[in-house]
Structure formats: C-alpha cells, structure tokens
Amino acid sequence: MDFNQLAKSIITNVGGAENVNEVEHCSTRLRFNVKDASKIEKAALKELEGVAGVVDQANGVQVIIGTEVSKVFEEIKKEYTFKTSEADEQPADSNMNPFRRVMNKLADCFVPLIPALIAAGLMSAVVTLISSFHLMDPASTTYQVLQIMGSAPLYFIPFMLANSSAKRFNVNPYITMAVVAVLLYPGLSELAGGEEYIRYLGLPVRMVSYSNAIVPVLLTVWAQTFIEKLVRKFVPQMFATFLEPLLTFFILASLSLIVLGPLSTYISDGIAVVLNLIVGKYNWLIGLVFGGLMIPLISTGLHYSLMPIIIGYFMMNGYDTFWAGPSFCSNLALAGAVLGFALATKDSKMKQTASSTGVTALLGITEPAIYGVAFVENKVLLSACIGGAIGGLVSGILGVNSYGMAPAGLPSLAVLVGPTFGNAIISIVISACVAFALSYIIEKRKRA
C-alpha cells in the first residue's frame, strides 16, 4: 500500500491542509480537529483503500485505519505542518451534553496512559508465568526487578495521570507533577510518625497513601484551572516569571494536602462501596451487559470513560473481576463473527476485508472489524453481540479475573493467568464459537 498517497487522499477529503487544525492518532485511528466540518467528504473517505471507516467527533472526524495507522500518520507529518492558533480553537465537546462532556474529558485524560498500562499489565503477566512454571528463582534479583517493572508504573500512575490530565485541561503539567510529587514524597508520611494527622499551617492534615491514586490528581488538576487564572490575574507582569509558578505551586500543594487529598479518599471509599455492592453479587449481569454492548461502547469511545472505575478497582484489589472477562469475550466474539462471515460470503472484496480484519480482531485491535465489516453487515454485528453477551454471562457466572491490563486479544491472554484462567478460556471459546456459528449460518442461508 502507498501510505504517502493514502495520507494525501485523506487530507484532501477532510477539506485540505488549510482546513486542519490538528491531527493525532491512537492505535487504530487518525483524529482530525478541523476549522469547518462541513468540508469533510465522509463518503469519499470511506471509499479510500486502507480506510476501514469514518466516525464523527465534535469539530472533526476520526478516520479508522487499523494497525498501520502510524505509517499513515508519519507520512502526514512529512508532508504537512498543521498549526492551531488560539483564535481557531474551540472546545471539541462544546456541543455535547454535560454528562458526555465530562465522560469525554475523563477519557482524554486516561487514553495517553494506555501504552504504559499495557506494558505494566503484560510484564506482570510474564512474571506470573515465570512464577507458575518455576522458570526462575523468586529470590533472585532478576525476578524481583521484573516484578518492579510490572508494579512501578501502577504505583506511580499519579505522575502519568498528572501529565495527561493537565494537558487536557490546558494547565501547566509540570506544576501538576510537582504537586503530585509532594503527595507521593516518602518523607511526608514519615512526618506523622504513625499518627493519622499532622499539623500544617495550624490545620490538621489527614495522612493518606497517594500511591496508585487517581482521584486526588483529577481534583488537583480541576482546582489548578482556577488557581492559575487567579494568580495570573493578580500578579504584576514584571514579577510573573518567578511569582506565578511559586504561588500556583504553594497554593495548589497546600490545597491538595489540606482539602483535596483527604476529600479524594472519601470519594474513593464511596466508589468502593458502590462497586462492592455490585461486583461479585451481579457479575453475571455485568458480564452479560458489557459482553453484549462492548462493540457499541468501543464505537462511541465510551469504553474509555469507564477507565477510572476499572483502574480504581484494580488498584484496590490487585485484579479486575468485572471488565476483562466481557472484554475478551466481546473481542473474540467479534473475531469469530467476522471470520464466520468471511468463510460463508461469496463477495470476494468483503471476504478479503473480513479475513484481514477478523485476524486483527483476534489480536485485540477491533475497530477495523467493527467499521469495515460489523457496521456494514448487520448480521455480523448481531452475531458478535449475541456471542459476546453469552460469553460475558458465562464469565460472570464462573468468575473470571484479570491480573493485568492489556487489549483483549490472543497475545494478551497471559493477563488472565491465575486461578480462574480455565474459566476464562471456556468463556472466550463459547463466545467465539457462538458468534462464528451464527454469522456463518445466517450468511449461508441468505446465499441459499
């Protein structure tokens, strides 16, 4: 495939280079922020060879490429330079309802963390495999270093979240990270000497653990959006270079220690209570719903909005018991449905598309299969949703845990290794087989 030509064709059909404010990419999509969305030729984009689908977003469009998206992105960077002036910028979610706007902002904060979470999750899975098969002495320093590699990114997730969320809320990320450094600093907890409170500025400050914490970071960034503006408003310009960062850091760090940090623990405790009421007792229902609706969630991007809950639960318990099972079942059901359709269809073009995207879905990259096949052939979508729902139901009944976080696909099955691994395989096989059979039978009957 000529990626340079594909890049040029995509730019032409999003209204030309002069219409593009910004372009970025995730694992499968090019995300365009444009000046005038009416200039986007969606039908022409969908017809381009190498484009699996097109999805609307506020102030732009997402072009689904697949696993080769980075190659197209590199060609775009070589050929074009897009600049975004402050006058041209508008909030990408300005036309959304308040709930969806909040969910999108949360998603944007967590999406950049995904590669690090995947790396940590798979590294933990590798360590589990090493331990399970006695491939290395657990007392060896090599084994312990590998354990640290798996756990350190999760321990210091507040730093990563501070950076990504600060950028999303347009505040100084290094001030945010400096404040989070104060919260994580080992000497802070040592000041308490085992007591629950210390005194700071004459006020009692509750000592809590901020490692693995996400809520205090989000609260800190939210407060920073107001504090930066307030400090900028009152500090004379001639002193701004040193007074603005000093005052912003001092006020924000003090506020986080005295109010936001302790408040976050009550919020986290509340979330934990709700999760404990639902998770465990109704896993069969959660599995059924998520397994059946995962594809619509992925297509709208709403699955990213659930990441704070998923990560929070994982941090509290050291494993996930309600998300990974349905995710694996849904993704493998999609792969099964698409491959079943590929085997049954007589349309040579769709057979080729379904075969390639079905294999990609097996690897955990689902968007090409969703937009290239499932949303084109409704019977494939229906088969995948039914297979995912049945598999998710089984995973909830049997109890499937994940001990790491990674895209749900065959290469990352290692994150499921543990006491419930056999149950996970049963659920996944049921999902894929049901979806494959349904899709194959429906397509064959249609052709008969």
Catalytic residues: 26
- Taking each helix axis as running N to C, give the angle between helix 141-155 and helix 157-168, from 0 to 180 degrees, rounded to the nearest 10: 30
CA distance 251 to 15: 45
**How many C-beta atoms surround the C-beta of residue 305 within 10 A?**
20
CA distance 220 to 215: 9
CA distance 177 to 19: 35
Residue by residue, DSSP assigns 287-350 as HHHHHHHHHHHHHHTGGGGGHHHHHHHHHHHSSBSSSHHHHHHHHHHHHHHHHHHHHH---HHH
Helix (H, G, I), strand (E, B), or coil: what is residue 64? strand
Angle CA(394)–CA(397)–CA(402) in degrees, nearest 5? 80
Contact between 88 and 35 (Cβ < 8 Å): yes
CA distance 146 to 298: 32
Rg (CA), the chain: 24
Query: How would you class 133 by CB atoms within 10 Å of its CB: exposed for 0-12, middle for 13-18, buried for 19 or more?
Result: exposed
Helices (H), 80-206: 98-110, 114-132, 141-155, 157-168, 173-184, 186-190
What are the backbone dihedrals phi and psi of residue 199, each rounded to the nearest 5 degrees, phi first?
A: -105, 130
Helix (H, G, I), strand (E, B), or coil: what is residue 275? helix
